[in-house]
Amino acid sequence: MSSHRPRPRIATAHAVAALVLVLAGWLTIAGTAAAQTAEVIHWWTSKGESAAVNELAAAYRKAGGTWVDTAIAGGDNARNLALTRMAGGKPPTVTQFNASLQFHEIIEEGLLNTIDAVAVPQGWDRLLPEPLRNFVKVGGHYWAVPVNIHNTNWFWYSKAVLAKAGVTAEPANMDEFFVALDKVKASGAIALSLGGQGWQELMLFNAVLHAAGGQDLYRRFYTSADGAVALTPEFKKVLADFKRLKNYVDRGSPNRDWNVASALIIADKAGFQVMGDFVKAEFEAARKVAGRDYGCFAGFGPKAPFVIDGDVFVFPKSPDPQVVRAQQLFAKVIMSKEAQVAFNRKKGSVPVRADVDMGEVDLCTALGLAGLRDPSRHVPSVEQMVAPEKNAAIGDAITEFWNTRQTVDRAARALAASLRM
């Protein structure tokens, strides 16, 4: 028995030592909080994305702050962590969020600080494009700082595959798109590279809704409360066009990640991909040049609807003036012209303010900037118009329609039911 005795003591000593170390570490962090420390939760973890977020961190440090990085892979995971910590009383200083109605819910719950102290003197009313401003400004107050503008409605294509298939011009409407797809399919390549996951199928559907149905139908569909719009012939035509695209997708599509689908374009194995502008970071990482190796267009024709979606950062509520100062410094840095240019160049997205000079940009970024400058093209993203659960129900109906032999009429009825939720 006696030979066993010393062991627990050693273990205890170790445990105490570990505890002391942990406490010491915690005190150190708490101590440096005086120097405007911002713990930032975000979900930019891919190669191109983390290069972009490093630009933000560098700008924040240059402005005299300390950036503590909490990067979580996956938007859902990161948001869940931030929400759990906010609900549990240990919020991060700043956390990334999506421009979605979830955001309105956390405002209602009183979990956020406003950022009016920065927004009003800087004149965000002037600086931000209208759809984005309507989103971050709720009840007369600014609750978030937008960092970039995304458009999820981009068509990407491999120049080599299209040239080989004999497609010489970018399709300007849905019919021309089908003709181009037919040619690519006949040439032996995958015509449409799609990742068969619910959100990507929904993104493709939305692109068809913009392209074939137009801005007006898109807005009417997502703001409909009675679902009647889903049963109209023009909407059913959109559904039929969407389902027709299935003929051009390969068998390996189900559960494919979006960047794997992009890799097929990069490797010149597939013709088209419909996906957000974050695909561009993949092309850049593969050292492909816009206009030479790959092409892009944001919807059909120069007046195509341009979705204003974006990443924002929100400021969890804190009474601590140090934290508030760190949050305000963060907002100032993010909105600065230098940080906007540095970040968005790496990210492949577009700055939130129209008055910055991006310098020399490639073809696709130039198209994005042109879209941003034309308010008549702007449409809000789906997340800004419908609550998460309604959006999820619509997504369920779309993925069911895409993957089964469901008829257009049944899918239309299912969507109408989702809209009535």
Partner 1 sequence: MPNAQPLPVAVRPAAPRARPPRRVNVWLHVALLPLALTALLAYLASTVWTVALSFTGSRMFPSSRFVGLAQYERLFASERWSIAIDNLLFFAVFSILLCTLVGFLLAVFIDQKIRAESLFRSIFLYPFALSMVVTGLVWQWVLNPEMGLQAAVRDWGWQSFTLDWIVSEDKVMYCVVLAGVWNGSGFMMALLLAGLRGVDEEVWKAARLDGIPVWRTYFSIVLPMLSGTVATALTLQLIGSIKVYDVVVAMTRGGPGLASEVPARFIMENIGSRSNLGQAAAASTVLLVTAVALLVPYHYLRKHQAAKSGHGA
- Does residue 400 belong to the site contacting partner 1 (CB under 8 A)? yes
Helix (H, G, I), strand (E, B) or coil at 97: strand
Binding mask 24-63 for partner 1 (x = CB under 8 A): ----------------------------------------
Instruction: Enumerate residues 190-249 that contact partner 1 by CB under 8 A.
Output: 196-198
**Does residue 409 bind partner 1 (CB under 8 A)?**
no
Q: Is 403 in the site for partner 1 (CB under 8 A)?
A: yes
SS3 content of the chain, % helix, strand, coil (to 5): 55, 15, 25
Spatial contact of 46 and 281, defined as CB atoms under 8 Å apart: yes
CA distance 55 to 343: 6
**How many CB atoms are closer than 10 A to CB 191?**
24
Tokens of 354: 């129209």
For position 109 contacting partner 1 by CB under 8 A, the verdict is yes
Say if residues 201 and 194 touch (Cβ distance below 8 Å): yes
314 binds partner 1 (CB under 8 A): no
Residues 6+ apart with CB under 8 A from 6: none
Q: Does 259 bind partner 1 (CB under 8 A)?
A: no
Q: How far is the CB of 148 from partner 1 (least distance, A)?
A: 21
Residue 125 has φ and ψ, to the nearest 5°, of: -55, -35
* Separation of alpha carbons 152 and 382, rounded Å: 10
How many angstroms separate the CA atoms of 41 and 38, rounded? 10
Tokens of 377: 């093209």
Residue 80 sits in the site that holds partner 1 (CB under 8 A): yes
Tell whether residue 12 is a contact of partner 1 (CB under 8 A).
no
Q: In angstroms, give the least distance from the CB of 107 to partner 1.
A: 11
402 binds partner 1 per the rule CB under 8 A: yes
| Sole window of 6-14, 293-301, 334-342, 386-394 interacting with partner 1 (rule: CB under 8 A) | 386-394
How long a stretch of residues is the chain?
421
Residue 110 binds to partner 1 (criterion: CB under 8 A) = no
Shortest gap between Cβ of 170 and partner 1 (angstroms)? Answer: 28
Nearer to partner 1, 198 or 214 (CB): 198
Binding residues vs partner 1 (CB under 8 A): 1, 76-77, 79-80, 83, 87, 102, 105-106, 109, 196-198, 250-255, 387-389, 392, 396, 399-400, 402-404, 414
